[in-house]
Structure 1
Amino acid sequence: MQAMDGDFIRIDAPEGGVQRLVAGFHGHAYDPHRHETYAIGVTRAGAQGFRYRGTGRVSHAGQIMVLHPDEMHDGRSEAAEGFVYHMVYIEPALVAAAGGIGGPLPFVPDAVLRDAAITTLLAEIYESFPAPLEPLERDAFVARLAELLRARSDSHAPERARDPIASTRLARVMAFIRECHADPIVSEDLERVAGLDRFEIARQFRRVNGTSPHRYLIGRRLEAARARILDGEPLAAVANRTGFADQSHMTRHFKARFGMTPGRFAALAASDGR
Structure 2
Amino acid sequence: MEARDGVGRVDRVDRAMSWRPAVTGVAEVFHAHWRDHAYPGHTHDTWTLLVVDDGVIGYDLDRHDHTAVRSGVTLLPPHVVHDGRALTSTGFRKRVVYLEQDVLGADLVGPAVDAPLLPDAGLREAVSRLDRALVARDDLEAESRLALVVERLTAHLVRGRPGVVGTVQPAPGRVACLAREMFDADPVGTPGVAAVAHDLGVTTPHLVRSFGRAFGIAPHQYVVGRRLDLARRRLRDGVPSAVVATETGFHDQAHLTRHFRRFLGTTPGRFQSGR
Return the TM-score normalized by structure 1.
0.49
Which is bigger in relative contact order (C-alpha 8 A, separation at least 6)?
1
Return the TM-score normalized by structure 2.
0.49
Tell me which structure has the larger Cα radius of gyration: 2
